A and B are shown apart, each in its own frame.
Chain A
């Protein structure tokens, strides 16, 4: 085991909600001091419901928004975009895949251009080299090369998400933040994307921060699980610890609310029905 690739200490983020011309502006604590480490090549799942601060956390990790307080260290290097801005090296270290594959691809950009954009802006590769790299990446994510010249609206949701994943790993990042990458997808497509993510993790030694509200997906993909509730990490442990022995009340509520699709629970429900 090497040193953790991502080290987050006491991370906070506040938003000021302006109260209009006459109202008083309010301070909203979206993330209230979160600390965690992620080992290289492992997957940390961040679980929570809407408004718990998990997306804010993702935006801080990917350097889209600066944190209000606290530190983020990636591979031993502290990042502080408020002070220094984002350097090319930092950008190459972290990338993100968004939830909605319909919004995350530029409708006016062909797939090839989507994949080549990171290379164009960050490397000095020639046009031919970039194209080869893009074609190779298409193949890696399971799309045929013909798709290179097509527009995003010609694709299904699952295919678009493959493109979005391909774009994110074009620069070979060390850390990939996945913000609900499968929750907008159909079940069968979801399974394919999850398998793809597994394969890519092995091949490129990627570290994932996997943000999700879906416990069954988390259980499948995570090594460690962190449960967030109103901006705080209320539970953090290995997958087996959290799933077999949840400590916090909220985690228990979450488990209880998740629909179960196994035969035993259906039998139980049907048996309870006439009695009720």
Chain B
């Protein structure tokens, strides 16, 4: 019975099946050129952020007193020391942008992490139990959704006090209802499927049914929504930073950098343009990846 040969075959087959799933996923993802480009940009961004101290030519907080508002290197008056110029207090733009990538990715990760975890738990509970639990949860979510999202985040930050961490919590709370709704909708369609009934007959309890049986089948739309929210979080954090409610100076967060540069918008275009471009490119790349994920994950679910 316990033939070692056979169990080796079985294990190899099991690994094969997993690999095949991944290969298939990659095939559909790579059909979307934009998504691959987005993924490439995103990976570069992650590498740059991780290796910031090695890549950045200067310390982001050091002020070079002799070089206030130096234009980028290709413009008249540029200095090869500062490739993208310096800001109003003589800090190197390129270095600040590179360190800023750390913050942006960190914000995206934390916000999506909080919103996704909370949204999934609440959404699964609402969708699985229905009844009054569902009603209460969904009405609360409707209330949150009824506020303009940035305004609500602003109010929350005002209550919690300005700062990057509080801004992230506020944004997570604002984004959460989207995940709750999405999870609940997915759970509602899955919970009546035969395999759920079969698992219940096999003796699975509520917790197992919710998180082990149903949840993995609801993940595809959540992953897509997660990536799109990732960019949303970066944007919102930048907006809060711009309004002075997010990361506080001298943190090289892109939104905060924009806010600081507000008054030089006419005199020194580079201090506003580059942080703006950084936000734009990052958000675009992540949205493209999200699009590709949708392509790769959605038809699969319909087929199986």
Q: Is B217 an interface residue (CB 8 A)?
A: yes
Number of interface residues of B (CB under 8 A): 33
Q: Is B16 an interface residue (CB 8 A)?
A: yes
A95 in contact with B201 (CB, 8 Å): yes
Residues of B close to A3: CB separation below 8 A: none
Q: Is B83 an interface residue (CB 8 A)?
A: no
Number of interface residues of A (CB under 8 A): 41
Q: In whole angstroms, what is the CA distance A182 to B2 when docked? A: 33
B194 in contact with A62 (CB, 8 Å): no
B2, B193, B202 — which one has the most chain A CB atoms within 10 A of its CB? Answer: B202
Residues of B close to A154: CB separation below 8 A: 17, 20
A88 in contact with B203 (CB, 8 Å): yes
Residues of A close to B9: CB separation below 8 A: 145-146
Q: Which positions in A face B, CB cutoff 8 Å?
A: 62-64, 88, 91, 95-96, 98, 100, 102-110, 112, 117-118, 121-122, 128, 131-132, 135-136, 145-154, 164, 167, 171
Q: Is B33 an interface residue (CB 8 A)?
A: no
Interface majority SS on B: helix, strand, loop or mixed? helix
Residues of B close to A102: CB separation below 8 A: 304
In the A-B complex, the 3 residue pairs with the smallest Cβ-Cβ separation, listed nearest first, are: A149-B14, A121-B203, A153-B304
A98 in contact with B194 (CB, 8 Å): yes
Query: A-B pairs with CB below 8 Å: how many?
Result: 94
Q: In whole angstroms, what is the CA distance A104 to B203 when docked? A: 15
A150 in contact with B194 (CB, 8 Å): no
Q: Is B265 an interface residue (CB 8 A)?
A: no
A112 in contact with B14 (CB, 8 Å): yes
Q: How far is the CB of B216 from chain A (nearest CB, A)?
A: 4
| A145-B9, A152-B304 known; A103-B203 Cβ under 8 A | no
Residues of B close to A88: CB separation below 8 A: 203
Q: How far is the CB of A95 from chain B (nearest CB, A)?
A: 6
Q: In whole angstroms, what is the CA distance A106 to B198 when docked? A: 9
19 A-B pairs, CB-CB below 8 angstroms?
A62-B201, A98-B194, A98-B197, A98-B198, A100-B194, A103-B194, A104-B194, A104-B195, A106-B195, A106-B217, A107-B195, A121-B202, A132-B1, A135-B10, A145-B9, A148-B13, A149-B18, A151-B21, A153-B303
